[in-house]
């Protein structure tokens, strides 16, 4: 039972640490949010926790970012920013990918599903940008233009999914193996 509690706390600690790393200056779209959803989905055995804890960590870090770091931009307290629905929807789908597809872990599976999850994020969030109707015409050419102009940002998205997934999954596996080894002696 003690190992389970330490593992559970380790998962939460890594998610919170990654969430608040968003505050550190970074390249556009180079954040840990997708990796957090994939990681939480993969490691929480309870389906509700697999979705709620990563989403809650994103929301709390969004509150800090939007109301302290970007407070000049909004001018009032912001619970949810424009476009949050699309980002959070993609986050839920990525958590589901982790929950249902990463029950058996390997480097190849984490790598492959990180790439797939980054594509899910790219498609959903940029569709949301287009659907808002504020930047692109609401027709097929507007949708294509939205995706084409977002392609340069995808590089950062993909690299962040790969890096942060490697860090989260790798760190947790190292911690877990050390706990097992420590308890054998």
- Walk me through the domains of the chain, giving residue ranges and CATH numbers: 2-184 (1.10.1760)
* Pair of tokens at residue 133: 């109707």
68: exposed, middle or buried (Cβ count in 10 Å: 0-12, 13-18, 19+): exposed
Give the Cα separation of 109 and 62 in Å (integer).
29
The pLDDT tens digits along the chain (185 residues) read 344 466 778 888 888 888 888 888 888 889 999 999 999 999 998 889 999 998 999 899 889 888 988 888 888 898 988 889 999 999 999 999 999 999 898 999 999 999 999 999 999 999 999 999 889 999 999 999 999 999 999 999 999 999 999 999 999 998 888 776 555 44
CA 172 to chain CA mean position, Å:
16
pLDDT at 182: 59
Give the Cα separation of 20 and 38 in Å (integer).
17
């Amino acid at each position: 039972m003690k190992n389970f509690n330490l593992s559970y706390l380790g998962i939460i600690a890594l998610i919170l640490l990654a969430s608040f790393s968003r505050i550190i200056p970074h390249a556009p779209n180079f954040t840990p949010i997708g990796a957090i959803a994939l990681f939480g989905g993969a490691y929480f055995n309870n389906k509700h926790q697999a979705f709620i804890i990563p989403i809650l960590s994103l929301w709390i870090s969004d509150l800090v970012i939007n109301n302290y770091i970007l407070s000049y931009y909004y001018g009032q307290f912001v619970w949810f920013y424009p476009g949050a629905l699309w980002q959070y929807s993609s986050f839920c789908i990525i958590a589901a990918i982790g929950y249902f597809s990463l029950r058996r872990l390997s480097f190849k599976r984490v790598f492959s599903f990180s790439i797939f999850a980054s594509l899910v994020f790219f498609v959903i969030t940029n569709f949301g940008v287009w659907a808002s109707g504020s930047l692109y015409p609401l027709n097929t050419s507007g949708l294509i233009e939205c995706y084409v102009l977002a392609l340069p940002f995808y590089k950062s998205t993909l690299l962040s999914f790969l890096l942060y997934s490697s860090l989260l999954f790798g760190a947790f596996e190292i911690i877990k193996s050390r706990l097992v080894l420590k308890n054998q002696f």
